[in-house]
Structure formats: C-alpha cells, structure tokens
Amino acid sequence: MTRLIGILLALALISRPAAAQTSNPVLNHIWSVGMDSSRVQQLAGSLVDSIGPRLAGSPNVRNGQDWLVSMYKSWGIDAKNERFGTWRSWRRGPSHIDLISPRVRTLEGTMLAFSPGTKGKPLVAGTIILPHFDDSTDLARWLPQAKGKLVLVSAPPITCRPISDWTQYATPESFARMDSTRNSRLRDWANRFNVRGTGKGLALGGGELALELEQAGAAGIVGSRPKDALGTREIFETNTTRAPNISLSCEDYGLVYRLTERGNNPKLRLDLESEALGEQPVFNTIATLPGTEKPNEFVLLSAHFDSWDGSSGATDNGTGTLTMMEAMRILKQAYPHPKRTIRVGHWTGEEVGLVGSKAYREDHPEVLAGLQAVFNNDNGTGRIVRMGATGFPNGDVHARKWLQQLPAVFQDQVKYIGVGVPGTGGSDDFSFYCAGAPSFGLGGLNWNYGNTTWHTDRDTYDKIVFDDLKANATLAAMMAYLASEDPDKVTREQVDLAVIADSINKANAMLPPPAQGAPQRIPPMTTWPACGTAPRKTLPRLR
C-alpha cells in the first residue's frame, strides 16, 4: 500500500504544470491563480455552449456582451458595453433540408447568415447548375432558366477526402489524376464567378451574381465551401433578401450536383426559419483595471467577440475572448492596482472588417495616445508560441526585457521573432498598430485551425484545448503586468519599410523566377499601412 501511495504521488507531481520558478512574487501569484485555479473551462461552457455563435448585430452577440459585463462585475472589475454604431441584425431559426427525389435523404446543410427563410412553409424545387458564361450577354440570356430553380453555384467536388488521405494511400498516378482534374475544375468555376467582376463573392453568397439570380426569380441558391478536412466547410453570409441561400456539406452537395448533371431531376425541400431585424445598435465590451501611477497610459488586451454563426464560434474567437477574460480575472487577484491602466477590448464586427476596434480607436484618441502596448489573440486554441514587435524597434527592446522575466517554461515556449513588420489587417491589433501604437500579436500553435475550425461548421466546444488555453491566459496576464510595471513608455519609431523592401527585392533577384502556374511572389510593403475608417452602419448592399 505504501508503495502504491508513492507511485500515485509521483504521478500527481508529474501531471502538475511546472512551478513558475521566478524571483518575482507577482509573477508567481499570477502563475498560481492562472494555472492552479483556472476558470476557462467553466467560462467556455457558458460562452460557447449556452450563448453560442455571436454574429455581428445579432441578438446572440448582445446576450453574450451582457454576460461579459456581468462576469466582470462579479469579479469586481468595472465593465460596460459601449455603442459605436448600428449593424444589420438577424435571428437564425432551424434549418431542415431534404432530398425528396429521386430518393429521400436528409441533407447536412444550413442557411448562410442573413439568409431569408421559407416564410413559414416548406419550399420544394428542382435544381439547375450554373453554367459557364462567355460574357455578360450570355449570362443575361441564361438567367430566365433559373426562375423557380435552386441554382447550384459551387464547383462539384472531385473528392471529399482530405489531401492527407490521398498522399498516404493513393498511387502516384491516381493522385496526379485527381489533382489535375480538381485544379481544372476549380479554374473553370473561378471563371464563372468573374462574369461581371464578382470574384469569389458568389461563393460567399453575397456577390453581384447571387443578387442577379435572386432578381431573375431563382427559388434559392445552393453552394458548398469544403475545407481540406472530412465533413468541414466554411459558412459565411448572404445579401439576398428573397431567395434562401444555403450551404451543403461537401458530400451532400456532390450528391445533388451529380443527380442534376445526370438528368435525374432531383428535388429538394427546404424548411428554413429566420428573421431579419433591421439595423440595431452594436457595441464593444470594455473592462478596466485603473492605473494608480500612470492612469493615462494603457496596456490593452485585445480579442474580438463576434463570430460567424455556422457553428459555435469556439476557436474564432471564443478562445481569444476567454484568454483575455481570464487574464483580467487573474490580474484582479494578483495585481489589482496596476501602475498603468490595464484595459480589455472585446470587439464586435471584426469579421466584417475590424469595425469595432477601428471605431474604438477613433472614439478614444486619449487611449491611442497613451498606449504602452496592445496584446491581441485571435488564431485558435493553441498555446502561444510566437510574438513579435510588429515593426516597432523600441517595442522590440521592451518586449525582449519583458520576455526575459517570464518563467522558464514560457521563455522556452515562446519564439520571439524580433522587430518584424506590420501586417495588412488580419485581426484587431491592426486597428492600433496602423495608427502607430506598439502592438504585440500572441500567435498560437495551429491545431489544424485553418482546415478544421476557422469559419466552419465544426468550430465547437470540443475543439478547445483547455491546458493550452489556461496557459495562454496566464501568459497574457504576465505580459500585461510587465508592460504596466515597465518604468519607461514604449516609443513609436517605425521600421523603414522601403529599406526592408529593397533588401527583399535584391534577394529575390538572385533567385530563379517562380515556375509557371506556381504562386507569384508578392511585392514587399514599402509604406506603413493606412488605417481606414470604421463604418458606423451596415455597408450598402451590392447594386
């Protein structure tokens, strides 16, 4: 028995995370609160399972923001929902989509966001394939054929298996045949979308061609945007207001397409419930720990709160939201009276153009002027493994100093990439570094984010890796603490992008040109990116 107890104790010690092992008592306290009494799993249950997806402008996102404020206040942290404009609002109801002829099958599918429903009764219609058009005149001649039909607007899949299956199991000849056929088909369908310069807008459901199909009397629009993973597809939004716009799984879209192509005259029954709610107020949620010595200087934790609503918004960006919520909870316990003001922004409208964070920057010039650092997290559930200074040389000096004070486990984990260069608008930190505020992106391990959960129907609670998430919250709290305590303010000198671009161009000149058909080199950035302005209401519909 004694030996068994010893073994169990040893296993328990092995399973515990490494101790903070720093000489700084505040960092040690942050570690203890974050790693030994984490709340991220309980918070995720409320946010991801109970509240669910948070489409910009929807009742769900507002419910979630009220929950954010109530949680912060329960921890003794001041928080508020701050209005910055209006956005179109929409309520999703149930989607039920069936193949009823030539056989019966319930299809895996759903409406795109903002799709009209079927007005309280099922819609039964046949299908037609969007053909190839030589020009807009050709399109105009064909459009009457779409009347009363469900128009299939996506390329038919050659395979719904991930490429990894083909790489592992196919013969080289079979793989080459599949790959060639698939690429040829994708090129053909890309040309169909370009009849009037619509680009990929049709596949997203909101392009000019989709609206022309609606105007021509199409019963609905059917598409599919499969990812390179079994059963996973992207689901975005539509601008149609009369013709329902639905997304089918790769497998079921392929079935309907083949039946249509073979002349089997398939019929679908759509029973879709939704409600357009018009322009409604939209908000950012802001929570604050006031600074005691430098209250007009700010450390800003940043994560967008809105999501697409084909799933639960778990890793885009529920995990970033939870990271920053938990970081604030930790700081309230371990560092309740910071030298600089520590603030968190849960932004709305990131998915439609960084709208909320841009609006906050415009509405709060005092925060922009006083920013010491922005820490942004928005790339899935994986533990933070990289950080850079986004083009700010003095930010690089400070970041290196902060990282050197972290526990060894985080120093080993985070690969620091140095000064770096600014991006062009991928996440909300852009809204601040474009205006010259030092920003530090917290980049995580991939966990197959791009193929499995990013903007897909599979972005659900079960994809969250909670050990990584609680470490991320602990690390974010530590970085906020160190930036707040730093005796010096980060200055705003920027790298000379023209010099960097010249160096890159000279290096590229020494290399052979890319092969025909291969991706071409993107010219390097030569000037600091422009911020743009935040729209304060829904952008006008196409046409």
Q: How far is CA 355 from CA 140, 278, 372, 537, 538, in A?
A: 36, 18, 22, 10, 10
Q: How confident is the model at residue 201, as a pLDDT?
A: 39
User: Count of CB atoms within 10 A of residue 365's CB?
Assistant: 10
Q: Are 126 and 150 in contact (CB under 8 A)?
A: yes
Q: How confident is the model at residue 150, as a pLDDT?
A: 98
**Per-residue pLDDT band at 12 (split at 50, 70, 90):** very low
Q: How confident is the model at residue 524, as a pLDDT?
A: 86
**Per-residue pLDDT band at 194 (split at 50, 70, 90):** low
Q: Are 332 and 289 in contact (CB under 8 A)?
A: yes
Q: Name the residue among 416, 372, 371, 369 with its Cα closest to residue 396.
A: 416
Q: How confident is the model at residue 72, as a pLDDT?
A: 98
> How many contiguous H segments (helices) and E segments (strands) does the chain have?
19, 14
Residue predicted with more confidence, 208 or 454? 454
Could you tell me the pTM of the whole model?
A: 0.92
Q: How confident is the model at residue 20, as a pLDDT?
A: 66
Pairwise CA distance, residues 282 & 290, whole Å = 25
The mean pLDDT of the chain is 92
Q: Are 185 and 158 in contact (CB under 8 A)?
A: yes
Q: 125-164, pLDDT tens digit by residue?
A: 999 999 988 888 888 899 999 999 999 999 999 999 999 9
Least trusted range by pLDDT, from 185-199, 229-243, 418-432: 185-199
Q: How confident is the model at residue 543, as a pLDDT?
A: 40
542 pLDDT more than 80: no
Pairwise CA distance, residues 279 & 90, whole Å = 9
User: Count of CB atoms within 10 A of residue 445's CB?
Assistant: 17
Residue identified by tokens 């005092």 is 366
**Per-residue pLDDT band at 19 (split at 50, 70, 90):** low
3-class DSSP state of 152 = strand
As a whole number, mean pLDDT of residues 412-419 equals 96
**Per-residue pLDDT band at 205 (split at 50, 70, 90):** very low
21 pLDDT more than 90: no
3-class DSSP state of 431 = helix
Residue predicted with more confidence, 382 or 510? 382
Stated length of the chain = 543
Q: How confident is the model at residue 502, as a pLDDT?
A: 82
Q: Are 137 and 203 in contact (CB under 8 A)?
A: no
User: Count of CB atoms within 10 A of residue 117's CB?
Assistant: 21
Q: How confident is the model at residue 214, as a pLDDT?
A: 95
Residue 20 CB contacts under 8 Å (≥ 6 apart), including other chains: 27, 28, 30, 31, 32, 407
As a whole number, mean pLDDT of residues 430-448 equals 96
Strand extents, DSSP E, 211-351: 220-223, 245-248, 267-289, 294-304, 340-347
| Structure-block tokens of residue 380 | 């899935």
| Structure-block tokens of residue 136 | 């807009």
Q: Name the residue among 338, 342, 345 with its Cα closest to residue 320.
A: 345
Residue identified by tokens 């509405």 is 363
5 pLDDT more than 50: no
3-state secondary structure 135-146: CHHHHHHHHHHH
Q: Are 304 and 346 in contact (CB under 8 A)?
A: yes
Q: How far is CA 59 from the centre of its chain?
A: 19
Pairwise CA distance, residues 298 & 417, whole Å = 24
Q: Are 198 and 182 in contact (CB under 8 A)?
A: no
Q: How far apart are the first and last CA of the chain?
A: 78
Least trusted range by pLDDT, from 14-23, 58-67, 339-348, 457-466: 14-23
Q: How confident is the model at residue 522, as a pLDDT?
A: 82
Q: 266-309, pLDDT tens digit by residue?
A: 999 999 999 999 999 999 999 999 999 999 999 999 999 999 99
Q: Are 77 and 287 in contact (CB under 8 A)?
A: yes
2 pLDDT more than 80: no
Q: Are 61 and 318 in contact (CB under 8 A)?
A: no
Q: Which domains does the chain have, with CATH numbers?
A: 20-88+279-485 (3.40.630.10), 103-265 (3.50.30)
392 pLDDT more than 80: yes
Q: Which amino acid, one-letter code, is at 353?
A: G
3-state secondary structure 200-218: CHHHHCCCHHHHHHHHCCE
Q: 247-256, pLDDT tens digit by residue?
A: 999 999 999 9
**Per-residue pLDDT band at 18 (split at 50, 70, 90):** low
Q: How far is CA 256 from CA 116, 131, 160, in A?
A: 22, 16, 14
206 pLDDT more than 70: no
Question: Could you give phi then psi for residue 255, rounded to 5 degrees?
Answer: -60, -50
Q: Which amino acid, one-letter code, is at 507?
A: A
Q: How confident is the model at residue 505, as a pLDDT?
A: 84
